[in-house]
């Protein structure tokens, strides 16, 4: 008996970003190969020439250099056509003074949005406000969704990139509201002890002043 073909669904956190060829304002792009070795953020918006989306694109572009400093690229997406994206970004540059430097996917037939789970079929055909954060190994690290009436917080997305990079570099976890956590400030969290030997090690580290602990399962240190 032939194996049943696995049903392909929306990619999840921990999955590899699916391979696809997309038409953008910068020409045809192969994802995720285009950003190999880099972090990238793919974000969808309901439509061009809409008020909240315009504020979001302006805000993303204002932080474009900061994303680049974090080895992170941006790519937008909606079901609008390329000419609509180009006219809209032209308007943003002419009227708001910001030239949109990142590509925008023109998903006119909705195939990309459907593959990524970006369309709520109960709410029409427009793409939702979604964010995919993808690491240099093309692994999806985070997926965020926002309703149509609420714009995204770009500084939180930057905080997430910084947090992921810190966690990967130092094998630590990132506390709430980092780097301004109410308990540990800008410290990072040690992985929880999972053996008697590790509990002993944590206590020895605390005695040496290398880390601080509320208890052996909640330890933190300077980054």
Catalytic residue among 53, 92, 118, 161: 53
> C-alpha distances in angstroms, 169 versus 69, 73, 164, 186?
16, 19, 9, 16
CB 22 within 8 A of CB 40: no
Neighbours of 66 (CB within 10 A): 14
How far apart (Å, rounded) are the C-alpha atoms in residues 82 and 102? Answer: 13
- Helix axes 51-62 and 154-170, enclosed angle (nearest 10): 40
Give catalytic status of residue 213 as yes or no.
no
Residues carrying an active site annotation: 53
């Amino acid at each position: 008996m032939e194996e049943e073909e696995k049903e392909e669904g929306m990619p999840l956190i921990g999955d590899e970003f699916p391979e696809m060829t997309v038409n953008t304002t910068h020409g045809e792009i192969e994802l995720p190969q285009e950003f190999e070795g880099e972090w990238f953020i793919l974000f969808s918006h309901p439509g061009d020439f809409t008020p909240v989306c315009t504020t979001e694109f302006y805000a993303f572009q204002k932080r474009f250099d900061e994303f680049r400093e974090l080895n992170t690229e941006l790519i937008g997406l909606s079901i609008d056509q390329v000419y609509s994206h180009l006219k809209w970004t032209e308007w943003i540059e002419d009227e708001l003074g910001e030239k949109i430097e990142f590509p925008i996917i023109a998903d006119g037939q909705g195939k990309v949005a459907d593959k990524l789970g970006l369309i709520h079929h109960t709410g029409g055909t427009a793409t939702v406000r979604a964010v995919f954060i993808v690491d240099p190994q093309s692994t999806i690290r985070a997926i965020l969704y926002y309703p149509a009436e609420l714009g995204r917080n770009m500084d939180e997305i930057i905080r997430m990139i910084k947090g992921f990079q810190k966690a990967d570099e130092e094998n630590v976890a990132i506390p709430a509201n980092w780097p301004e956590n109410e308990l540990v400030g800008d410290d990072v969290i040690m992985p929880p002890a999972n053996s008697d030997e590790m509990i002993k090690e944590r206590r020895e580290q605390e005695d040496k002043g290398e880390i601080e602990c509320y208890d052996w399962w909640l330890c933190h240190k300077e980054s």
